[in-house]
Homo-oligomer: A and B are copies of this chain.
Amino acid sequence: MSAINHQFKLIQRPVGMVGRSNFEYTQTPAPEPGEGEFLVKVLYLSLDPAMRGWMNDSKSYIPPVGLGEVMRAVAAGRVIASRHPKFPVGAHVTGLFGVQEYAVSNGKGGVALVDPTLAPLPVYLGTLGMPGMTAYFGLLTVGEFKPEDTVVVSGAAGAVGQVAGQIARIKGGRVIGIAGGPDKCRYVTQELGFDACIDYKHEDVKTVLKTHCPKGVDLYFDNVGGDILDTVLTQLALHARIVICGAISQYNATGPAKGPSNYLSLLVNRATMRGMVVFDHVAQFRNAMQDLAGWMKEGKLKTREDIVTGLENFPEALLKLFRGENTGKLVLKVADA
């Protein structure tokens, strides 16, 4: 291979908001696959809130990205050279290929074959990828969803939220979204079919939440943390469950995260707040994929991808995510084919 491999390496851990200065944009010759390996040409990169956490040098569910290492990212691509029988040339794959144009893989660590004739590749980074799995297991397993639940989903127009809310609707729940701005709220109610959506930028969340959830919130799927988590805590129903899926409002904070000062509502309402990491549910991914793909085929589950183009725009695309400027799953297109 003589192709050039452009890469974004992490060279500085961010303090506060992530930015271009945390990365070095470099190039190196594309690697050659060894025995039992294959070479992937990256076509789409997934931009995920979790990436911000991977940049911190602190204990988490996965080691931090080392300084000088290619930034970690889930990606979808095409096998262009192979010495691995299960991943032949021409196959399409998803995996943790990193923020670069070419990656060598041995097929381990969650690499999956995907079929771009069944769904476009970006969908395998969203609804049929980690965000879809996160929504599925967060709502149904961790959140112990019941059809009689009134469900609230924050980040409702985001990659995970859009799926979580629709699954709850499909299974018979009442679903209230929380999103930033009228456009996102229109998307959530009119395209995705949520029962209502609260525009936290222009509405008083507590007041509107009370109106939409007169009997309280049974299940809160939290993607954002901060003030919204604190407000939803004041409106819990008895035996409510809160799924802590993420806290995008807090990831770029310079000080400690804002703790939920209304957490004693858990006591008053005998409620449960539980954290989740999608990788715990790998053994059940196949079932979830079948359900999600089935609902998509039936037209019950609609999702959108928000596609930015050009590997060189990676830092700005990541900022777009943390500024909440994406509607649907944010994906960076790296190459055409």
Contact = CB atoms under 8 A, between A and B. Distances in A.
Interface of A: 59-61, 225, 230, 244-247, 250, 256-277, 280
5 contacts: A61-B269, A225-B264, A260-B260, A263-B263, A269-B275
B256 A259 contact: no
Contacts of A256: 261-262
Nearest to A222: B267
A113 to B, nearest CB: 28
Contacts of A61: 267-270
A60 B264 CA distance: 10
Contacts of A268: 59-61, 275, 277
A265 B60 CA distance: 8
Copies assembled? 2
A258 B256 CA distance: 13
Given A259-B259, A259-B261, A273 B270 contact: no
A246 B263 CA distance: 11
Contacts of A60: 268
A274 B265 CA distance: 10
A199 to B, nearest CB: 24
B257 A267 contact: no
A247 B10 CA distance: 41
Given A245-B267, A258-B261, A264-B250, A274 B272 contact: yes
Given A257-B263, A261-B256, A261-B258, A280 B273 contact: no
Contacts of A267: 61, 244-247, 275-277
A55 to B, nearest CB: 15
Nearest to A251: B264
B263 A273 contact: yes
